[in-house]
């Protein structure tokens, strides 16, 4: 059956598109929900009347896609920490669903089907570039860093040890400075006392 879409339909088309679908899909789903209209002269005339508004909405979607592309490539990057073996092989894998979940944490909602990972999954630590399909065949390249949980723990422990050492050194320096100040004060007081004694003699 030939239909005219009243709104965007995933994996089918956009508002205003004329599509051919199975009769059952049209009669049982698209038409009853007013997602689409039958392809006839009256609905074609209605489509032509709305054509300018539909074109404007499509242009707005293109602009939003360009803005999202700019954000993903210039501002957004994803870092995922996972358990791994000594050689860097992950215990598990990073999938497009994993990337979609991480993007959602950044306030970016992307369908996982639009996320293309080289080799479909990531199974090693390292830096990767993931392609994201946006509106109207536009794509964005997202940088993804996969880190080892064990390495991160080591780095945290090292950072904590360095911070503790720096704090201890600072305390030692303060103690030494205090002792030096006290010694200088004592010497000054002794010197003043001797001067006063000589003056009395």
Structural domains present in the chain: 2-58 (3.40.5.10), 73-152 (3.10.430.100)
| Whole-angstrom distance, CA of residue 94 vs CA of residue 115 | 12
Q: Which two tokens stand for residue 110?
A: 């992307």
Query: And the tokens for 27?
Result: 């009669």
Strand order in the sheet with 115-116: 77-82, 139-148, 126-133, 115-116
Whole-number pLDDT of residue 184: 67
pLDDT of residue 11: 84
Per-residue confidence (pLDDT) for residue 75, from 0 to 100: 81
Closest by CA position to 106, among listed 139, 142, 82, 138: 142
DSSP H or E stretch at residue 126: strand 126-133
For 20, half-sphere exposure in the C-beta direction (CA atoms, 13 angstrom radius) is 0
Determine the pLDDT at residue 152: 64
Whole-number pLDDT of residue 187: 63
For the chain, helix (H) and strand (E) counts, in that order, are: 4, 9
- Non-local (6+) Cβ contacts of 65 within 8 A are 134, 135, 136, 138
Return per-residue pLDDT of the chain as tens, 201 residues: 999 999 999 889 999 999 999 999 999 999 999 999 999 999 999 999 999 999 999 999 999 999 999 999 988 889 999 998 888 899 999 999 999 999 999 889 999 999 999 889 999 999 999 999 998 889 999 999 999 887 766 666 666 666 766 777 777 767 667 666 666 666 666 666 555 555 555
- pLDDT score, position 189: 61
Stated as kind and residue range, the H or E segment containing 94 is strand 89-94
Looking at the whole model, is its pTM more than 0.85? no
């Amino acid at each position: 059956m030939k239909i005219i879409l009243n709104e965007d339909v995933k994996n089918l088309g956009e508002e205003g598109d004329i599509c051919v679908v199975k009769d059952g899909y049209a009669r049982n789903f698209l038409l009853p929900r007013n997602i689409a209209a039958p392809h006839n002269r009256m609905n074609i005339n209605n489509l032509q009347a709305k054509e300018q508004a539909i074109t404007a909405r499509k242009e707005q979607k293109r602009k939003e896609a360009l803005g999202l592309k700019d954000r993903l490539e210039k501002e957004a990057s994803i870092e995922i920490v996972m358990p791994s073996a000594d050689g860097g092989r992950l215990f598990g894998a990073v999938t497009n669903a994993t990337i979609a979940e991480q993007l959602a944490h950044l306030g970016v909602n992307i369908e996982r089907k639009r996320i293309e990972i080289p080799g479909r999954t990531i199974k090693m630590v390292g830096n990767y570039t993931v392609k994201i399909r946006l509106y109207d065949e536009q794509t964005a390249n997202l940088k993804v860093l996969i880190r080892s949980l064990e390495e991160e723990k080591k780095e945290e422990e090292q950072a904590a040890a360095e911070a503790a050492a720096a704090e201890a050194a600072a305390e030692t320096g303060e103690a030494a400075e205090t002792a030096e100040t006290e010694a200088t004060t004592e010497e000054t007081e002794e010197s003043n006392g001797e001067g006063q004694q000589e003056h009395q003699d």
